[in-house]
Amino acid sequence: MKIPIGMTMAIFATFQAPAQDAQPVQLWSAAAPGALGTEGKDIPTLTPYPAKSDKATGAAVVICPGGGYGGLAGHEGKDYALWLNEQGITGFVLKYRLGSAGYRHPVMLGDAARAVRLVRARATEWQVDPKRVGIMGSSAGGHLAATLLTHFDAGDAKASDVVERQSSRPDLGILCYAVISMGPNTHQGSKHNLLGDAPSDELVKLLSNELQVTPQTPPCFLWHTWEDSAVKVENTLDFALALRRAGVRFDLHIYEKGGHGLGLGSGTDDPSKWLDWTRDCASWLKVEGFGRK
């Protein structure tokens, strides 16, 4: 069933409503580990978008925008946070450091891990449940999310920094047309920005997340489009197969139309295309105890 265009755009407008007090918080109070300078590009931040109290479920999701590890796509950050708010979930948009600013792995993974730890460490202040903190990412941001989903740790209980005592393991993942592999099916620009000109075979394997799934990998919602010519759909299919082999729960959706970089769909000529994934994801979030019943 097609929803009228006017109604569709009205729904999208609710995601664009202004958020109050959305101020970025530095991930580290001092210089971030491995910082190359003191400019904005050297300072990773997390911007909270709290769900309204009458809708809030207590769940939280850290959002990693895409951009090929060379930029950060705005429509894959704040827009997602406002959509999550409609599901009763507090969104946290991560500004992570980029290859275009001279950074390489493991800096980006360190930023994502710190973001999840920070949400847990400040859960009381932000009124979220530290046992319901997920991660979401699109395109290269999806690769970063998938990397944390497969390369997390339990935290350091003896750390003097209380944030570092927290686990970096997300409780679930949402991967939108994600780069997963650094192998033959990779997105070359993302690979270059993340790993440099001549990464070792060992590093390529380590960051090919379809090869790093274990039974401890959190449950995931995955979606992609068949016609995506920028990031091959095989990335998502291979990750889903790896999850299946490891016995990890997942919800997989491959849509024929839509291309790459859809976000919530504001840039498409047919806004009805994006309704399927948001509807499907909202239903899954309820099943996982994150979304509003």
272: phi then psi, degrees, rounded to nearest 5: -65, -15
Q: Over range 167-193, report the average pLDDT.
A: 97
Region 173-177 average pLDDT: 98
Query: Tens of pLDDT along 198-219?
Result: 999 999 999 999 999 999 999 9
Phi-psi region of 261 (alpha: psi -120 to 50; beta: other; left: phi over 0): left
Q: What is the mean pLDDT of residues 210-231?
A: 96
What whole-number percentage of the chain has pLDDT above 90? Answer: 84
> Which backbone phi and psi does 227 adopt, to 5 degrees?
-90, 10
CA distance 50 to 243: 31
Using a 10 angstrom Cβ sphere, with 0-12 exposed, 13-18 middle and 19 or more buried, the burial of residue 2 is exposed
Per-residue confidence band for 145, with pLDDT thresholds at 50, 70 and 90: very high
Q: Residue 2's pLDDT is what?
A: 33
* Domain 5-16+27-287: CATH architecture, name and number where available: 3-Layer(aba) Sandwich (3.40)
Confidence at residue 262, expressed as pLDDT on a 0 to 100 scale = 87
Summarised one tens digit per residue, pLDDT across range 73-124 is 999 999 999 999 999 999 999 999 999 999 999 999 999 999 999 999 999 9
Where in 177-240 does DSSP place strands (E)?
220-225
- Supply the pLDDT for residue 267: 52
Does the structure show a pLDDT above 70 at 72?
A: yes
pLDDT band at 64 (very low <50, low <70, confident <90, very high): very high
Higher pLDDT, 174 or 11: 174
The number of beta carbons lying within 10 Å of the beta carbon of residue 219 is 18
Q: Which residue type occupies 191?
A: K
pLDDT score for 272: 55
Per-residue pLDDT band for 281 (boundaries 50, 70, 90) equals very high
Domain boundaries defined on the chain: 5-16+27-287
pLDDT for the residue numbered 21: 60
Secondary structure (3-state) at 230:
coil
CB 59 within 8 Å of CB 70:
no
pLDDT of 144 > 50? The answer is yes
Assess contact for 121 and 166: CB atoms under 8 A.
yes
- DSSP codes of every residue in 18-81: PPTT---EESSSSPPTT---SSGGG--EEEEEPPPTTT--S-EEEEE--STTT---GGGTHHHH
